Amino acid sequence: MKNIFLLLLLIAGLSLRAQKDDQSTLTKVGQSAPGFSFQLTRDSISKLEDYKGKIVMINFFATWCPPCRAELPRVESDIWKIYKNNPRFALLVFAREEGWDKVTPFKQQNGFTFPVLPDEGRKIFSLYATQSIPRNVIIDKDGKIIYQSIGYDPKEFSQMLKLLEEKLK
C-alpha cells in the first residue's frame, strides 16, 4: 500500500512539474474537467458528462504527428485491448483539426479498434490546451482531472498505465 501511495505521489509530482513549466496547458490536475459535446458517430452526439462515474481517458492527436503515431499503437494494445470491456472506463481519442473524412481512413489503415473521433476546429482541444500533441488527460469518476501529459515518452506512458490500473482495479 505504501508503494502504491508513493507511486501516485510521484506521478502527481511529475504531472504538476510538467504543468508548471508548460504555458500551453489550460487545465490543472485537481480541477473539474471542462465539459463538451462531441460526435460519437456521424449520427450521434454525446457529452463528457454522460461518462460521469467512469474513469475517462482523453487522447488528443493528429494524423500527421510522428509522436502521436508512435503513441497510438500503445493506446490500442496497452489500454484499449485491456479496458474496452470495463464498464467503469471510457476512452475518447480526438483527432485535432480533422473530420470524419480523415479519421475513418486513418483508423482503418492503422488497424485501430478504439473510437477515433473528430475535433474539427480544435473545439474540444482548446478547452484543455493551446498547443502540443499528443496529449493525454485522465478524469476520475467525479469529473476531476487526475493526470495530464504532453508528448510521447514511453516511461511516462508506462506511469500513466500504472495509474489507470490502480484506478480500475
Mean local confidence (pLDDT), 108-112: 97
Q: Report CA Rg, the chain.
A: 15
Domain map of the chain by residue range?
A: 2-167
Q: What is the pLDDT of residue 5?
A: 45
Confidence of residue 1 (pLDDT cuts 50, 70, 90): low
Q: What is the pLDDT of residue 154?
A: 96
Let me know if domain 2-167 sits in CATH 3.40.30.10.
yes
pLDDT per residue as tens digits for the range 56-68: 999 999 999 999 9
Mean local confidence (pLDDT), 121-146: 93
Contact predicate 139/146, CB 8 Å: yes
Q: What is the pLDDT of residue 2?
A: 55
Q: What is the pLDDT of residue 58?
A: 98
Contact predicate 38/122, CB 8 Å: no
